[in-house]
């Protein structure tokens, strides 16, 4: 994909008064083709055919507005007996266009890399309503920041207090009326619980840094992104999975929300990340056969 400006304006939106009133659709109101046409129409660096060729599947549930929540599994291509599992997320904030685009770019790499050792689950657009809004929004269609809606300990006491006291009721960081109030967050939590990742990678923009939560010494640099710990927040994915589940949670903050990294920059981030994961994830012991068989998606490739 070419590095170029991605169309869109990035503005704050107010919180709807009836944010929690309208129930989300139980099933998606669009299929993969319709979703890819919408994504390709919004992003300047993801063509419709690239989205369709990615082999995305529709998960259970849907966004607030009925957009499908899509994913793709990639099986390892190495001979490691028990591969590590990595969950890769893009676009949990809908107005961070480059975070979605670069994940589509990396999906093409996963499709063609011959010896990659990991079992991946990739979710390129975790907040499709925010992405497809006009203008795009950080929050979902309920006006909730999905990255403040995860069920961290003491969420009820801490999340709202932080929003009021520290952000001065910034609508872009509204944590929601309750933890897991949003269908997108509930679906992401379901993916974590069903996929059992050994590490999570979440792509954001536009701070231009590498952030980390969890065990092990943090990586110091992936490509041109250098380590800068941003802290943990009530309801954030890093707090929930990194601090409380003790999983490595890598947050890649690209420097621009509307401009892709160059191909060389993207490749260097990807290569450094793979090397760190290989060196730092501990060896896994084989699970009993009856536990392993149901987990394998044999048609994932």
Whole-angstrom Cα distance, residue 58 to residue 248?
26
DSSP single-letter state for residue 171: G
For residue 214, give the nearest of 246, 176, 183 by alpha carbon.
246
Residue 253 is among the residues annotated as catalytic for this protein: yes
**Is there a contact between 228 and 218 (Cβ–Cβ < 8 Å)?**
no
Q: Are 239 and 232 in contact (CB under 8 A)?
A: yes
Question: Which stretches of the chain are assigned E, i.e. beta strand?
Answer: 57-62, 68-74, 85-90, 119-123, 199-204, 209-213, 221-222, 225-226, 249-253
Cβ distance 103 to 203 under 8 Å?
A: yes
* Euclidean distance between CA atoms 154 and 258, whole angstroms: 35
- C-alpha closest to that of 6 among 253, 258, 261, 256: 258
- By CB atoms closer than 10 A (0-12, 13-18, 19+), residue 67 is buried
Nearest Cα to 234, choosing from 144, 148, 173, 170? 148
**Which residue, among 107, 63, 112, 73, has the nearest Cα to 196 in the 3D structure?**
73
The DSSP bridge partners found for residue 252 are 203, 210
Q: Could you say which of 182, 253, 283, 301 is catalytic?
A: 253
User: Could you list the active site residues?
Assistant: 253
């Amino acid at each position: 994909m070419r590095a170029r400006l991605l169309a869109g304006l990035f503005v704050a939106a107010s919180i709807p008064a009836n944010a929690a009133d309208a129930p989300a659709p139980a099933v998606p109101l669009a299929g993969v083709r319709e979703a890819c046409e919408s994504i390709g129409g919004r992003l300047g660096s993801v063509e419709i055919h690239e989205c369709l060729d990615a082999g995305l599947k529709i998960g259970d549930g849907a966004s607030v507005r009925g957009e499908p929540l899509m994913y793709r599994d990639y099986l390892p291509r190495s001979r490691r007996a028990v591969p590590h599992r990595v969950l890769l997320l893009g676009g949990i904030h809908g107005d961070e266009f480059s975070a979605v685009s670069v994940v589509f770019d990396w999906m093409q790499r996963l499709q063609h890399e011959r010896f990659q050792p990991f079992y991946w689950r990739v979710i390129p657009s975790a907040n499709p309503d925010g992405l497809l809004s006009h203008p795009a929004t950080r929050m979902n269609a309920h006006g909730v920041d999905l990255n403040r809606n995860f069920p961290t300990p003491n969420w009820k006491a801490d999340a709202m207090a932080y929003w009021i006291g520290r952000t001065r009721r910034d609508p872009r960081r509204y944590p929601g009326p309750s933890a897991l109030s949003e269908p997108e967050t509930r679906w992401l939590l379901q993916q974590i619980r069903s996929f059992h990742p050994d590490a999570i990678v979440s792509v954001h923009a536009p701070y231009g840094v590498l952030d980390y939560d969890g065990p092990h010494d943090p990586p110091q640099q992936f490509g041109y992104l250098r380590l800068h710990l941003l802290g943990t927040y009530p309801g954030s994915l890093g707090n929930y999975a990194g601090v409380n589940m003790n999983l490595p949670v890598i947050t890649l903050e690209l420097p621009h929300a509307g401009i892709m990294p160059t191909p060389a920059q993207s490749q260097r981030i990807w290569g450094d990340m793979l090397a760190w994961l290989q060196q730092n994830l501990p060896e896994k012991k084989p699970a009993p056969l009856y536990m392993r068989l149901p987990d394998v998606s044999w048609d994932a490739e």
